[in-house]
Amino acid sequence: MPSVVLVANDLEVRALLHGMLEEQGVSVVAADDAGEAMARVGAMEDPPDLLLVDRRIARDAEVELIEWMRSRSRLRDVPVVLFTAHGRGSEGPPPPLDGLREAFDAALVLAIVQAVCRTR
């Protein structure tokens, strides 16, 4: 069973994605923010298959979380998918990835998660 760490402080978005992923047989560990995500990932026996992060968890917190993941050898290769449920008006600097699509489409997020987990 693939495992995903879902980081989103919007309870509605988190509940929607959590439910959709579990329906697809994905084990989900949810966190409200970057600090909670770091604690939960750090406590996991095995690295997750994917880190799924809402860009709006807090200003620049997604960058801090990604840098933390990349600084740990056992987590360095865990794929990270950034999404936003809030469209182009999100605060903060642009994401640290070129070509990030900034629109929330739950079905698209689910398809990306499935594709990434299948290749791992």
CA 61 to mean position of chain CA atoms: 12
Structure tokens at 54: 């809402």
> How much of the chain, in percent, has pLDDT values that exceed 70?
79
CA 116 to mean position of chain CA atoms: 12
Closest among 81, 100, 80 to 90, alpha carbons compared: 100
> How much of the chain, in percent, has pLDDT values that exceed 90?
49
- Residue 106 confidence (pLDDT): 79
Distance from C-alpha of 18 to C-alpha of 15, rounded to nearest angstrom: 5
Determine the straight-line distance between the first and last CA of the chain, rounded to whole angstroms: 11
Domain count, the chain: 1
- Residue 92 confidence (pLDDT): 53
CB 95 within 8 A of CB 56: no
Neighbours of 27 (CB within 10 A): 13
| Residue 120: pLDDT band with limits 50, 70, 90 | low
Q: What is the pTM of this model?
A: 0.80
Tell me, what CATH number does 19's domain have? 3.40.50.2300
Q: Pairing mode, if any, of strands 50-54 and 3-7?
A: parallel
pLDDT digits (tens, 9 = 90+) for 39-82: 999 999 999 999 999 887 766 688 899 999 999 999 999 999 88
Average pLDDT, the chain: 83
Residue-range definition of the domain harbouring residue 10: 3-119
- Residue 58 confidence (pLDDT): 63
- Residue 89 confidence (pLDDT): 45
